[in-house]
Amino acid sequence: MQSDRLKRLPPYLFVEIDRKKGEYIRSGGQVLDLGIGDPDLGAPPELISTLRDSLDRIEYHRYPPDRGLPRLVEAIRGWAERSHGVSPGSDEILVTIGSKEAIGHLPLAVVNPGEAVLVPDPGYPVYNSSAVFAGADPVRMALLAEKGFFPRFEDIPPRDMERARLVYLNYPNNPTAATVEKKQFEHAIEVCAENALLLVNDAAYSEISYAGRQQALFPLAREAGTDYIELFSFSKTFSITGWRVGFAIGTPEVISALARLKSNLDSGVFSAIQAAAASALEKDYDAITGRIMGIFRKRRDSLAESLEKGGFRFKVPEATFYFWIEVPGGGSSMEYCGRLLEETGIVATPGVGFGSHGEGYFRLSITAPGDTILEAGRRLEKLGASPL
Ligand SMILES: Cc1ncc(COP(=O)(O)O)c(C=O)c1O
């Protein structure tokens, strides 16, 4: 039994890859899974220790406050001030159950049925689903390599632009690993102001950067006075995808709409988890992120070297833990990934799974142990960038 809205979601595209993976394992092969972006490092001991201590606080076992634990809201404000020189008010901050939850709920709070939601293609599939669940129409914006994987708003048909209510951006980007420049965000802010669009940046990968601090949207949009919301996450930054905690910074009216919707649907994040997240921002931030990024940097460099030696065409990522690589000789990413798995045991994600403009690429994630990445690198180098 499925509602019409569930039936409007695109089919799950990775059935064939999953089947081949199972086959490879059953035949005794060692699969090297670089398919999903889920860090393998485990939660930092500092966070586990605060979480453990927080479990003894009786008040933390009750419903958490709607907007988030005051200690965490304060820690977010401090982080915003230190990192971006801007100190949002508490009416501009909302704790979320990770970035995914905020994406999923946002259109329900601010978009009407029949309106359009602009979603990046290739892109994280939840942007599309969130629009569908709100009875809105997702309109895909192509992210092209020659445009730095940033949408060309001029290419959006005027009919769709008129109906559009919200635009999703995602920088640093999954799956392309593209980063954004200040002037690109400024352009998006202008377009959104002209067209009365809510500008959303999903910044789940904001702290996974090998090139210093990444440009955030909130300092610019706040200054410009446009409606915006930027979604941050603790998941990737601290390797705690299972904890489910993130936060949003945005215009008070937008934050208030999302908070109102959420207060009718969920009751927030367990306060002990919020306290541990706060402690990470308050005092341990540099030590923890420095350690984690040291590990990702090593992995990134080793995989980049092997891919280069193998002759693959890609850009070394400056942020995120993804490599976005051209399918050798062009052609179907699904077929290539299937053959890659059969020939090398490496699980990669076909670009087409992120939208039709992802075709011709595949994605590798470095969220697997260092040895797995080294071995995958060796196999890719040996295989070389010839069509399969
Ligand atoms: C672009 C993007 N946004 C959001 C998420 C979800 O992150 P969270 O764990 O914060 O919900 C992911 C997870 O893979 C992602 O790739």
Q: Is the CB of 100 under 6 A from ligand 1?
A: yes
Angle at which helix 271-282 crosses helix 285-310, to 10 degrees, equals 80
Helix (H) or strand (E) holding 102: helix 98-110
Q: Is the dihedral of CA 349, 297, 172, 186 positive or negative?
A: negative
Q: Can you give the pLDDT at residue 18? A: 83
Angle at which helix 370-383 crosses helix 333-344, to 10 degrees, equals 110
Q: Can you give the pLDDT at residue 11? A: 81
DSSP 368: S
State which ligand 1 atom lies nearest to the alpha carbon of 246. 10
Give the whole-angstrom CA distance, residue 63 versus residue 244.
Answer: 16
What does each C-alpha distance from 66 to 56, 60, 256, 365 come to in angstroms?
Answer: 22, 13, 11, 35
Q: Is the distance from CB of 191 to CB of 197 less than 8 angstroms? A: yes
Q: How many CB atoms lie within 10 A of CB 252?
A: 14
Pocket test for ligand 1, best of 94, 99, 354 (most atoms within 8 A of CB): 99
Q: Can you give the pLDDT at residue 14? A: 78
Q: Is the CB of 174 under 6 A from ligand 1?
A: yes
State which ligand 1 atom lies nearest to the alpha carbon of 37. 14
Give per-residue burial for 92-108: e unless 16+ CB within 10 Å, then b. Answer: bbbbbbbbbbbbbbbbb
Q: Is the CB of 175 under 6 A from ligand 1?
A: no
Helix (H) or strand (E) holding 277: helix 271-282
Give the whole-angstrom CA distance, residue 246 versus residue 216.
Answer: 15
Q: How many CB atoms lie within 10 A of CB 156?
A: 21
Give the whole-angstrom CA distance, residue 301 versus residue 348.
Answer: 18
| Two tokens, residue 278 | 């706060």
Q: Is the CB of 207 under 6 A from ligand 1?
A: no
The series of mean pLDDT values per 10 residues for the chain, 388 residues long, is 93 80 89 95 96 98 97 98 97 98 98 98 97 97 97 97 98 98 98 98 98 97 97 98 98 98 96 97 93 98 98 98 97 95 95 97 97 97 93
Q: Is the CB of 322 under 6 A from ligand 1?
A: no
State which ligand 1 atom lies nearest to the alpha carbon of 241. 9
CA of 241 to the centre of ligand 1 (A): 9
CA of 98 to the centre of ligand 1 (A): 7
CA of 342 to the centre of ligand 1 (A): 29
What does each C-alpha distance from 247 to 46, 149, 224 come to in angstroms?
Answer: 20, 25, 21
Provide CB contacts within 8 A for 287, sequence distance 6+: 46
Q: Is the distance from CB of 184 to CB of 201 less than 8 angstroms? A: no
Q: Say which residue the tokens 């999302």 belong to.
A: 258
Q: How many CA atoms lie within 13 A of 320 on its CB side?
A: 25
CA of 100 to the centre of ligand 1 (A): 5
